[in-house]
Structure 1
Amino acid sequence: MSVKTYNVLFLCTGNSARSIMGEVLLNRLGKGRFRAYSAGSHPKGEVHPLALRLFEHMKLRVEGLRSKSWDEFAAPDSPPLDFVFTVCDSAAQEVSPMWPGQPMSAHWGMVDPAAVGGDERTRDRAFRAAYYELERRIQIFTQ
């Protein structure tokens, strides 16, 4: 008997930090039971440099990561989704496309680390805080 792999989409407006973190973390913590993706309603076009630096520090794979539109996941040839998580309040308020499959959805509102100002240390701490918050939620989700 084969084990089902669940497709999960993390959504944020810019798809440069929080939703990308969700994708990276679930692909690591999901142990093959989950395939994570991320997208944004208005993608920034690049992964935030502080997110990339954090992933590299944590020895996480960053190959293939990119900021992309949620329209890619509404296309007829996109993977059927089982779960959709919004990780920013603005994306949760937007009218999203129709997703393939019949995904369950939830909102995991989080502070945007990319919006935190201050010196480099303060900004790094904001990215780490978002990372660890998502890690805890994903650990609970995958149990």
Structure 2
Amino acid sequence: MIHGRLSYTAISTTLTDTTNSARSSMAEAILNRIGDRGFRAFSAGSDPAPEPMPEVIERLAVLGHDVGGLRSKSWEAFTHDGAPPMDFVIALCDGFEGRACPDFGGVAVTAEWPLPDPARFEAGAQRLLLINELYASLRRRLEAFANLPFASLDRQAVKVWLDELADVVRA
């Protein structure tokens, strides 16, 4: 941070949820694609699934996202010594079922964007509809996030913007 303003060469963002199988994996792929202007997105979960949800991977691939590197992983991968430092941590679910987010180095700006988990629905039309709605919602939020004028904002202003993006609903 320079003179109270945020200054980045590459903005590292971790997107978290419980299983790292749908919401956060989707957000990682979206931000890495739209954020080619200097973002590095990662995803993680408090209790990661064995692998990302196949319907999510399929949808992302159909939409032209690189899914080759997507895998479910624990957020502990980003909390140890030597882990990439995070500028932002965005939680995509409500409170991790009573678990608190870990410390990602103490300097990350944090936000919560509570979104429904497709894993709570059985495979089928209802789950696919939710995946499509989540994709659209995440894309809108992450586009707005990626286009924030970071050089002219301080940490508190970015936090306010991130919190406001939590309220973005279907257009």
TM superposition score normalised by structure 2: 0.77
Separation in 2 of the partners of 1:5 and 1:57?
28
Amino acid at match of 1:35: R
How many residues are aligned here? 141
Q: State the identity %.
A: 36
Separation in 2 of the partners of 1:79 and 1:100?
10
1:9 aligns with 2:14: yes
1:130 aligns with 2:130: no
Q: CA deviation at 1:64?
A: 1.4
Q: CA deviation at 1:125?
A: 1.0
Structure 1 gaps of 5+ residues are none
Separation in 1 of the partners of 2:99 and 2:137?
23
Amino acid at match of 2:143: Q
Which of 76, 83, 92 lines up with 2:88 in the alignment?
Answer: 83
Tell me how large the CA RMSD over aligned residues is: 1.7
Are the equivalent residues in 2 in contact too, given 1:113–1:123 (CA < 8 A)? yes
Q: CA deviation at 1:91?
A: 2.2
Structure 2 gaps of 5+ residues are 1-7, 148-171
Deviates further, 90-99 or 42-51: 90-99
Q: Where in structure 1 do 4 or more consecutive aligned residues deviate above 3 Å?
A: none
Query: SS of 2:111's equivalent?
Result: strand
Q: CA deviation at 1:139?
A: 0.8
Query: SS of 2:110's equivalent?
Result: strand
Q: What is the 5 A alignment of 1:31-110?
A: 31-91=36-96, 93-100=98-105, 102-110=107-115
